[in-house]
Amino acid sequence: MDKKEEEKVIKRINELYHLSQERELTPEELEERKKLRAAFLENFRAGFRQQLEDTVVIDKDGKEVTSEKAKEAQRRKGLRKD
pLDDT, one tens digit for every residue, the chain (82 residues): 899 999 999 999 999 999 999 999 999 999 999 999 999 999 999 999 999 889 999 999 999 999 899 999 999 999 888 8
Question: pTM of the prediction?
Answer: 0.76
Total domains in the fold of the chain: 1
- Contact in structure between 63 and 45 (CB atoms under 8 Å): no
In a domain? residue 82 = no
In a domain? residue 18 = yes
- Contact in structure between 53 and 79 (CB atoms under 8 Å): no
Distance CA 37, CA 6 (A): 11
Q: Which of 47, 58, 53, 81 has the alpha carbon at shortest distance from 68?
A: 53
What range defines the domain where residue 10 resides?
3-76
In a domain? residue 81 = no
